[in-house]
Chains A and B, each alone.
Chain A
Amino acid sequence: MKRSTRLLALMLSMLFVLLLASGCGGGTSGSEATSQASAATGEPAQNDTPASDDVVTITVFSPNVDRSSERGLVEEMLANEYMAEHPNVRIVSETLENESYKPKLKAYIASNSLPDIFYIWDQPTWLDPVVEAGQVEPLDPAYLTDQDFTEASWDGVMYGEECYGLPNQSEFYIMYYNKEIFADNNLEIPTSFEDLLAVSKTLRDNGIQPCAMSGKEQWLGNNLIWNMMIQLDPEGFPESREITANRTGRYADYAPFVDAQSRFMELVDAGFFHDNWLNADNSEMYNMFASAQTAMMYFAGSYGFITSNLPEGMEDKVGTFLFPASANDPGDNGDMCAQYVTCYSIAKGAPQEAFDYLYWMMEKEHYTKYCWDHAGQLTAQDVAEYVSDADKAGLKGDILDMSNSVNIAGGLIWSETLNSTFVSAYTDLLSTMWSGMIGVDDMIAQLDTVADECYEEIQNG
């Protein structure tokens, strides 16, 4: 009896330890899950090649969850094509939705276990700490000399003299509008900021919410403020970066900064944004515009994005225009900053095959062509040679024309040039100002204080 009880107790302890150990195991990657799921259904899975001792497995981590459209489809197609040409390489993709992707990426970074190729934002708040932690391999852009990357797209991926990422996306922000709503209300496309306010008033008077906007995470509103700042100071706007990164001055003394914030609040006070904009995420913003509950929407110029979930017949009703500058601004409507905010990087210790694949993938005839043809999205490379006559028509052509009318390209948005604490504090202050709790002057004064503290923190190590 005594012996059997001890045996039982020992078995319970071992079971407990096994349960604990199983809880520490890694999760299933998206592609592995696809393989497992397809095994259950008996259908062939993507990225499923026979195992072999000579096969090198490359892991890819990306926030492009939808593998049937947009950039997710492009990644999937390129991976399959590469594996077909290189049977000794197996590419396993893991994907997570954007807001889940960020914490998991940080978890990988913290545990020094990054996948071989990963998608990351090239702002100093993201890429720099990873480079400083020695977890990223330097890349050689010479492999891609003839691939028509925009010169400015390299800014964010350089750390010192070395390159740590290949830029994969260009973003410029435009206004989408519903042609039918405009026509029904006898409205013309506004050509100045003052016209825009007048259009907004007419729409509100007629019971229509003017513009869908995502205010929950503040970054989109901050983009619009940045857009307006550039229109107010097209030559000198880099000063905002110097004020932030090196505290060469104060925001309160930089008039375009103050005026841009004030102009944004003018839009808020005029009811330009839809009623629930402060609590709206990108999905709500998109749905408000797609279901014609708002007449306009401010977002990245991307044919793939805008057509991702439009109701039938809606695409023909969508038009575009550039966010208008004020009639008295030094700049014009095309003065905005195309941003190159994301890149693919390679983790330290990744196999040579990961480098080979990434350089192959980022060749223009692969990534840029596929993004344009299959996702309607622009990259950091010139897409002109892949634009067909059919592409030049309709909404796709409109967005392409918009991209060509952007006057200023490249460079980081000013708020990303300090550290994450500053970004977080600034977004809190924006949210506070937008909800009316503090005024523009008060917000800017507090922002200067926060910037001083963050700058001091960085200087003191």
Chain B
Amino acid sequence: MSKTFGNKKTIFLMVFPGIALILFVIFIPILISLYYGFTNYSGFAGSYSWVGLSNYIRIFTKDPQFWNCLKLAFQQAVIRVIIVDGVCIVMAIAIDYMAGRWESLFRVVFFIPCTISVVVWGKLFVQVFNPSYGLINKLLNGVGLSSLARNWLSDPNTAVWSVHFMIIWIAFGWSFLYYYAGVKNISGDLYEAAMIDGCSRFKMYTRITIPLLRPAMEVCITLDVIASLKQMEIIMLTTNGGPGYQTRFLANYIYQLAFDNNQYGYGNAVSVIFVIVCILTMVLLRRLFAVINKD
């Protein structure tokens, strides 16, 4: 058996499908994008010309929308990590400690948002935020706070935060699942030993539970940052990037450039920069985790 699996041809044949998939679905499209990023291809079949670095220069010097999209993505990443991961850690610990026979119910309730299609959520939130008959304004009017009622998705002061709220709402389930699994995997012996040593509940959670949740945190934070950077669906379903381009994320911007503006070449250039930003972000995150783990 070991001789069979040590055979290089056999290994190649078994590994080839996976490698081919990654090559044709990820790497080669990126290279094609890189090529078109150096052209003024409109997306319509026909002639186009090589424009060198002018698309990339335009991104860094003449495109405020690109930087706004990037800022929005990182803003979402920070808010998401702080709120989603923070709340999910607390909820995972609380449910493990206090829920008792209601534990299963809480698990289901927290995870249900993840099972519902993002299209349904998008349409639902458009109704919830409706200024005339939406749930939020109705509630505010009902409790005498009508001065706080807003046109949540159209008001430039509230649109961005409404979008952040929607995305975070949908993101809770998966993060909670990871942290809950992490909490459940911590051996009870550690808590017993701590209690024998006279450790308070708070210290147990801060000195035992949270440090042992570090692997789950690394996974969740990485996934949250990736999801923030590639956010698209909720925007398309709700604000479509408006008002103006206040709520436009990078993926929406790339879509608009390539398919609405017929600027396929420039859209590809933006997508290449986007890939580089994603890679750099992941590298920085890994370095940060490595430093923290070393400590």
A293 to B133, CA, bound (A): 11
Output the nearest chain A residue to B154 by Cβ-Cβ distance: A278
By Cβ-Cβ distance, the 8 closest A-B pairs, closest first, are A432-B244, A435-B243, A133-B46, A9-B13, A278-B154, A16-B17, A112-B45, A275-B131
Q: Which of A133, A135, A429, A435 contacts B155 (CB 8 A)?
A: A435
Interface size counted on chain A using CB atoms at 8 A: 48
Is there an interface contact between A133 and B44, defined as CB atoms closer than 8 Å? yes
Is there an interface contact between B17 and A13, defined as CB atoms closer than 8 Å? yes
Residues of A within 8 Å of B4, CB to CB, are: 1-2, 5
Q: Does B200 contact A (CB under 8 A)?
A: no
Chain B: number of interface residues, binned into ranges:
35 or more
A119 to B133, CA, bound (A): 38
* Given A2-B7, A112-B45, A125-B262: A16 touches B20 (CB 8 Å cut-off): yes
State the total of A-B contacts with C-beta under 8 angstroms.
Answer: 120
Is there an interface contact between A134 and B46, defined as CB atoms closer than 8 Å? yes
Is there an interface contact between A420 and B262, defined as CB atoms closer than 8 Å? yes
Q: List B11-66 residues whose CB lies under 8 Å from chain A.
A: 13-14, 16-17, 20-21, 24, 42-46, 49, 65
Residues of B within 8 Å of A130, CB to CB, are: 44
Q: List B238-280 residues whose CB lies under 8 Å from chain A.
A: 238-240, 242-246, 256, 259-264
Q: Which of A102, A216, A276 contacts B132 (CB 8 A)?
A: A276
Q: Which of A20, A110, A217, A278 contacts B243 (CB 8 A)?
A: A278
Q: Does B153 contact A (CB under 8 A)?
A: yes
Is there an interface contact between B126 and A106, defined as CB atoms closer than 8 Å? no
Q: Which residues does B use to contact A, with CB under 8 Å?
A: 1, 3-5, 7, 9-10, 13-14, 16-17, 20-21, 24, 42-46, 49, 65, 126, 130-132, 151, 153-156, 238-240, 242-246, 256, 259-264
Q: How far is the CB of B278 from chain A (nearest CB, A)?
A: 24
Q: Does A111 contact B (CB under 8 A)?
A: yes
* Given A20-B24, A106-B43: A6 touches B13 (CB 8 Å cut-off): yes
Q: Does A428 contact B (CB under 8 A)?
A: yes
Q: List A1-39 residues whose CB lies under 8 Å from chain B.
A: 1-2, 5-6, 9-10, 12-13, 16, 20
Residues of B within 8 Å of A429, CB to CB, are: 244
Residues of B within 8 Å of A1, CB to CB, are: 1, 4
Q: Does A236 contact B (CB under 8 A)?
A: no
Additional 15 contacts, C-beta under 8 A, given A421-B262, A437-B246: A6-B9, A12-B14, A109-B43, A110-B43, A110-B264, A129-B44, A130-B44, A216-B242, A275-B151, A276-B154, A279-B153, A424-B260, A424-B261, A428-B245, A434-B243
Is there an interface contact between A424 and B126, defined as CB atoms closer than 8 Å? no
Q: How far is the CB of A445 from chain B (nearest CB, A)?
A: 15
Residues of B within 8 Å of A111, CB to CB, are: 45
Output the nearest chain B residue to A129 by Cβ-Cβ distance: B44
A429 to B132, CA, bound (A): 25
Contact with B along A124-152 (1 / 0, CB 8 A): 01000110111100000000000000000
Q: Which of A6, A12, A103, A110 contacts B17 (CB 8 A)?
A: A12
Is there an interface contact between A435 and B10, defined as CB atoms closer than 8 Å? no
Residues of B within 8 Å of A275, CB to CB, are: 130-132, 151
Interface of A is mostly: helix
Is there an interface contact between B244 and A103, defined as CB atoms closer than 8 Å? no
A419 to B156, CA, bound (A): 28
Q: Does A311 contact B (CB under 8 A)?
A: no
A125 to B263, CA, bound (A): 12
* Given A9-B10, A12-B17, A20-B24: A133 touches B45 (CB 8 Å cut-off): yes
Q: Which of A12, A109, A279, A420 contacts B45 (CB 8 A)?
A: A109
Is there an interface contact between B45 and A135, defined as CB atoms closer than 8 Å? yes
Q: How far is the CB of A380 from chain B (nearest CB, A)?
A: 25
Q: List A213-245 residues whose CB lies under 8 Å from chain B.
A: 215-217
Contact with B along A422-442 (1 / 0, CB 8 A): 011000110110111100000
A288 to B44, CA, bound (A): 38
A111 to B243, CA, bound (A): 33
Residues of A within 8 Å of B46, CB to CB, are: 129, 132-134
Q: How far is the CB of B30 from chain A (nearest CB, A)?
A: 18
Q: How far is the CB of A183 from chain B (nearest CB, A)?
A: 23
Q: How far is the CB of A446 from chain B (nearest CB, A)?
A: 11
Is there an interface contact between B155 and A420, defined as CB atoms closer than 8 Å? no
Residues of A within 8 Å of B49, CB to CB, are: 461
Output the nearest chain A residue to B239 by Cβ-Cβ distance: A279
Q: Does A209 contact B (CB under 8 A)?
A: yes
Residues of A within 8 Å of B131, CB to CB, are: 275-276
Residues of B within 8 Å of A369, CB to CB, are: none
A423 to B257, CA, bound (A): 12
A103 to B246, CA, bound (A): 24
A6 to B83, CA, bound (A): 51
Residues of A within 8 Å of B238, CB to CB, are: 279
Residues of B within 8 Å of A293, CB to CB, are: 132
Residues of A within 8 Å of B153, CB to CB, are: 278-279
Q: Does A274 contact B (CB under 8 A)?
A: yes
Q: List A180-234 residues whose CB lies under 8 Å from chain B.
A: 209, 215-217
* Given A276-B132, A431-B244, A434-B243: A103 touches B44 (CB 8 Å cut-off): no
A85 to B289, CA, bound (A): 73
Q: List A267-302 residues whose CB lies under 8 Å from chain B.
A: 274-276, 278-279, 293
Q: How far is the CB of A359 from chain B (nearest CB, A)?
A: 26
Residues of A within 8 Å of B262, CB to CB, are: 106, 125, 129, 419-421
Which residue, A6, A133, A217, A276, has most C-beta atoms of chain B within 10 A? A276
Is there an interface contact between A435 and B130, defined as CB atoms closer than 8 Å? no
Q: List A49-67 residues whose CB lies under 8 Å from chain B.
A: none
Residues of B within 8 Å of A423, CB to CB, are: 261
